[in-house]
């Protein structure tokens, strides 16, 4: 039976004795028995402050909504927002604590913001000479499969800060070790590792209960697809937000679902079948408008390549509907657009390469990243 990092808290209490403790977490911060990390640290340590990532400590905030500092009703601890005016803990915040911890479920994707909340917190701890603790957790989409292109640093952002690939195949603890050593944060890092973790397993194969890491990842299938279809956030095509199956469903009012599905299935992409469907998002893009599109049915997890699949889906919709498809404009004029941030490059937006060339880049850069990655694997 797997033991999460937080399951081993009582074996590591010496690390916290006599110290004021801060915690970055959200509803995924629970032990194997579903007791919250907040409750466990409140009981066993001097927990004095909480730090909120995107979506809030209690998971009640939608994507992209900024947060303010407030008092948590359950613990009476101050909750400092790391997704508002600042995304990095300030000196004033860290003056209140001696040691900062993180227990949060990552999604296994380069553009998931929680890993950069962790990185920024590690930077702040390095600057203020504070200790940093990671309670390690599984990579939910397994810790073996790696796929993607390496982020071009001219597209660095809060959804891609370091030159890693989209599907990194690492746990949050392994990423912390890489960020700290390879990318030079150099904080006082403590890793509370899991026991009996099999990195080849998906989350639903580990006898653990799925808790949505964020509101739009309600299932393991959404998380698997997210690594590939999240790039549609940067276009006028719906990535399924506002439906019950975000990232598994992609479409727009001007897409013929049968035409789109047929073209995609003709590619014979491994491990996936595209089923034509109509859907109506209740919020987000194309709110309350009938959309045509496809649902991704993962037939074989081992064969499925989400990044290549997402890029192929983008390429086909662009070719089929050149008069309708649009890349969304940058939020700030003169800065990269969301599609560039999500893909980590400029050539996808520009349509510079044929699909076969795009796939070759993915394969080459996946191998390059793996050479770095293997130095930081802990299981």
Residue 284 gets which letter from DSSP?
S
Q: Map out the domains of the chain as residue ranges.
A: 5-213+372-376, 220-345
DSSP β-ladder status, 188-192 and 46-52: unpaired
- Ramachandran area for residue 192 (φ above 0: left; ψ -120 to 50: alpha; else beta): beta
Give the per-residue pLDDT at 66.
74
Closest by CA position to 325, among listed 258, 264, 267, 251: 251
Q: Which residues contact 84 (CB under 8 A, 6 or more apart)?
A: 66, 67, 68, 69
Residues 106, 172: contact at Cβ < 8 Å?
A: yes
Q: Are 42 and 75 within 8 A, CB to CB?
A: yes
Q: Return the pLDDT at 352.
A: 94
3-state secondary structure of 250: strand
Residue keyed to tokens 């746990």: 171
Spatial separation of the C-alpha atoms in residues 109 and 198, rounded to whole Å: 19
How many residues in the chain?
A: 379
Positive or negative, the Cα torsion across 140, 141, 143, 149? negative
- Please list the pLDDT of the chain residue by residue as tens digits (379 residues): 999 999 999 999 999 999 999 999 999 999 999 999 999 999 999 999 999 988 778 776 666 677 778 888 889 999 999 988 899 999 999 999 999 999 999 999 999 999 999 999 999 999 999 999 999 999 999 999 999 999 999 999 999 999 999 999 999 999 999 999 999 999 999 999 999 999 999 999 999 999 999 889 999 999 999 999 999 999 999 999 999 999 999 999 999 999 999 999 999 999 999 999 999 999 999 999 999 999 999 999 999 999 999 999 999 999 999 999 999 999 999 999 999 999 999 999 999 999 999 999 999 999 999 999 999 999 9
CATH 3.40.50.12170 for domain 5-213+372-376: yes
Residue 62's pLDDT is what? 66
Which helix (H) or strand (E) element contains residue 238?
none
**Alpha helix segments (H runs only) across the chain:** 37-44, 91-94, 114-128, 172-181, 220-229, 257-266, 306-320, 338-343, 347-350, 355-373
Are 182 and 372 in contact by the 8 Å Cβ rule? The answer is yes
- Non-local CB neighbours of 337 within 8 Å, separated by 6+ positions: 234, 327, 328, 329, 330, 349
Distance, CA of 198 to CA of 203 (rounded, Å): 10
Helix (H, G, I), strand (E, B) or coil at 124: helix
Residue 64's pLDDT is: 64
**Model pTM score:** 0.96
| DSSP codes joined into one string, 302-354 | TT--HHHHHHHHHHHHHHH-TTT--BPPPSSTTSPPHHHHHHTSSHHHHT-S-
CA dihedral 222, 79, 16, 13 (to 10 degrees): -50
Give 108's contacts (C-beta < 8 A, 6+ positions apart). Answer: 139, 140, 141, 142, 167, 168, 169, 223, 227
pLDDT at residue 67, as a whole number: 76
pLDDT for position 175: 98
Under CATH, to which class is 220-345 assigned?
alpha beta
CA 243 – CA 260 distance, rounded (Å): 19
DSSP calls for 39-79: HHHHHHSEEEEEEE-TT-TTS-S-TT-----EE-TTT--EE
Tell me, what's the pLDDT at 60?
67
């Amino acid at each position: 039976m797997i033991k999460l990092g937080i399951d081993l808290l009582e074996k590591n209490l010496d690390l916290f004795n006599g110290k004021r403790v801060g915690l970055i977490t959200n509803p995924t911060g629970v032990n194997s028995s579903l007791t919250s990390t907040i409750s466990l640290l409140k009981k066993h340590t001097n927990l004095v402050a909480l730090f909120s990532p995107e979506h809030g400590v209690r998971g009640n905030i939608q994507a992209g909504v900024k947060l303010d500092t407030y008092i948590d009703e359950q613990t009476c601890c101050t909750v400092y927002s790391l997704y508002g005016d600042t995304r990095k803990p300030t000196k004033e915040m860290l003056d209140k604590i001696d040691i900062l911890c993180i227990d949060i479920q990552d999604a296994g994707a380069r553009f998931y913001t929680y890993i950069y909340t962790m990185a920024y917190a590690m930077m702040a701890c390095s600057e203020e000479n504070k200790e940093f603790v990671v309670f390690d957790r599984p990579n939910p989409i397994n810790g073996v499969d790696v796929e993607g292109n390496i982020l071009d640093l001219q597209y660095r952002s809060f959804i891609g800060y370091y030159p890693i690939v989209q599907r990194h195949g690492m746990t949050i603890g392994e990423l912390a070790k890489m960020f700290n050593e390879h990318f030079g944060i150099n904080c006082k890092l403590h890793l509370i590792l899991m026991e009996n973790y099999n990195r080849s397993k998906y989350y639903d194969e580990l006898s653990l209960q799925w808790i949505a890491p964020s509101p739009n990842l309600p299932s393991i299938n959404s998380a698997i697809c997210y690594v590939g279809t999240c790039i549609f956030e940067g276009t006028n095509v719906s990535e399924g937000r506002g439906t019950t199956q975000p990232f598994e469903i992609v479409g727009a009012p001007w897409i013929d679902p049968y035409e789109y599905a047929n073209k995609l299935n003709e590619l014979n992409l491994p491990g996936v079948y595209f089923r034509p469907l109509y859907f109506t998002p209740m919020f987000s893009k194309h709110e309350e408008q009938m959309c045509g599109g496809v649902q991704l049915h993962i037939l074989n997890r081992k064969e499925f390549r989400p990044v290549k699949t997402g890029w192929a889906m983008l390429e086909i919709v662009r070719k089929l509907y050149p008069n309708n498809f649009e890349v969304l404009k940058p939020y700030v004029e003169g800065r990269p657009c969301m599609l560039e941030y999500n893909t980590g490059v400029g050539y996808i937006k520009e349509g510079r390469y044929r699909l076969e060339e795009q796939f070759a880049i993915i394969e080459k850069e996946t191998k390059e990243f793996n050479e770095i990655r293997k130095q930081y694997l802990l299981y």
